[in-house]
Structure 1
Amino acid sequence: MASNMPDDFDEQFLACPVCMLHFRDPRVLPCLHTFCRECLQEWATKQQPLECPTCRTQVSLPDQGVDGLRTNFYVNNLLDFAAAKKGTEPGVPCQVCDGNVKGSKSWCADCAKLMCESCTLIHRKFPLFENHEVTTEETLKAEEGRSKFHRKRHCDKHKNQELVFYCESCNALVCTACTVVDHRPGKDHNPVEIYTVAQGRKERLRGLLQDIEPRLTEIQASIKEFDRKISNLAPSKEAATDQAKEYFRQLIDSLQKREKEILSQIDEQCRADGKALQTKKETIEFELAGLTSAQTFCQQAVEHGSDVHILEVGNQVQTRVETLLAKELDLESDWSEFQFVENTTVIDFENEVQDLGGVKTKIDSSKCKVVVKPAVQGVECVAELTTMNQEGRPCVTNSKAVTTNMKDSLGTDVPTKLKMKSCGKWGISFVPKIAGNHILEVKVNTQHVPGSPFAVEVKGNPVLTIGRYGSGVGELDGPIGVAVDEDGNIAVVERGNKRVQIFDIETGQSLSSFPVEGENPFGIDVDSNGMFLVTSWGENYGLRRYSKEGKFLDTFKPDFMDDPHGLTVLRDGRMVVLNRPKQSSCLLLQPDGSLIREIGKGELRNPVFVSVDESRDVMFVTDNSASKVVAFDLDGNLQFDFGKEGQNDGEFQNPEGLTLDQAGNIIVANAGDGRVLVFRPDGTFVRKLGTVQGGFASGVALTPNGHIAVSCFTGHCIELYRYM
Structure 2
Amino acid sequence: MASGPSETILEDFLSCGICLEPYKKPKILPCAHTFCERCLKAHTKLKRKFSCPHCRRQVILPPEGVKGLGDNFWIGSFRDILEAQRQSLGIVGTGRRLCQEHEGEQLKYFCKSCDVTICSDCIIFNHNQHDVTKIGQVIQKKREEMKTQIEEERRNLRKFVSKLDTLDMAEKEIHEKKHDVDVQIRLCAQRILDEIEKERDALLGEVSSAAQRRIEVISDRRKVVQQELAERMAIIERVNKASAAEDLVEMMAIKDTLKQTGGAAIDDFENDLTIPTLNVVFRAQQIPLANFKLGFIEEKAADADTVKKNGGPHDTDSFLTLEAVAVPNSPIALQQDSKASSTDPTVQEEAATSSSGAVGGDTESDDLFHEVESLLLEPVPTSMSVPTRLPARPKNPFGQRGTGDGEFCSPERIAVSEDGDVFVLDCGLKKASIQVFDLMGVFQQRILFEDVNVRAMSFREYEKHIIVLGSSPKESCMVLQEYSKYGYLHRSMRLGIPFLRKADITECPDGNVAIVDENSGNVYIIDQQGKRVATFSADDNPGRSTSCSIATDPTNGNIVVSLATKESIKVFDSCGRFDFEFGSFGNGEGQLYHPTGVCTDNLGNIIVADSGNHRIQMFDSSGRFLRVIASDREKLQWPRAIDLTSDDRVVAADTGACCVFLFPIYFR
TM over 0.5: no
TM-score (norm 2): 0.42
TM-score in terms of structure 1 length? 0.39
- Which is bigger in relative contact order (C-alpha 8 A, separation at least 6)? 2
- Higher Cα Rg, which structure: 1
